[in-house]
Amino acid sequence: MEAICSAPDIRGVFQKNVNLGEKSHLGIVGKVDFLFVPEDMDDLIFFLRNINPNINITVLGAMSNVLIRSGGIRGVAIILGQWFKKIFIEDNIVEVGAAVYCNDLSNVSMDAEVGGFEFLMGFPGTLGGAIRMNAGCYGSCIADILIEFEAVTKSGTVKWIDARNVNFSYRKSDISDDLIITRAWLKGIVDARYSIPKKTNEIMKRRREGQPTQKRSCGSTFKNPENIEKKAWELIDAAGCRGMKIGGAMVSEKHCNFLINENNATPEEFEKLGELVRQKVFENSGIQLEWEIIRLGDSAF
Catalytic residue among 262, 269, 271, 292: 292
Catalytic residue among 64, 106, 220, 252: 220
Q: Is 65 exposed, middle or buried (0-12, 13-18, 19+ CB in 10 A)?
A: buried
Put residue 145 in one of left, alpha, beta given phi > 0 → left and psi -120 to 50 → alpha: alpha
Measured between alpha carbons, how far is 153 from 203 in angstroms, rounded to an integer?
36
DSSP state, residue 87? E
Catalytic annotation on 220? Answer: yes
How do 66-68 and 294-296 pair as beta strands? parallel
Measured between alpha carbons, how far is 72 from 299 in angstroms, rounded to an integer?
7
How do 258-261 and 294-296 pair as beta strands? unpaired
Catalytic annotation on 171? Answer: yes
Catalytic annotation on 299? Answer: no
Look at residue 9 and give its three-state secondary structure. Answer: helix
Strand residue runs (E) in 52-106? 57-60, 66-68, 73-79, 87-90, 93-97
Catalytic residue among 74, 171, 207, 216: 171
Contact 270, 252 (CB under 8 A): no
| Active site positions, annotated | 171, 220, 292
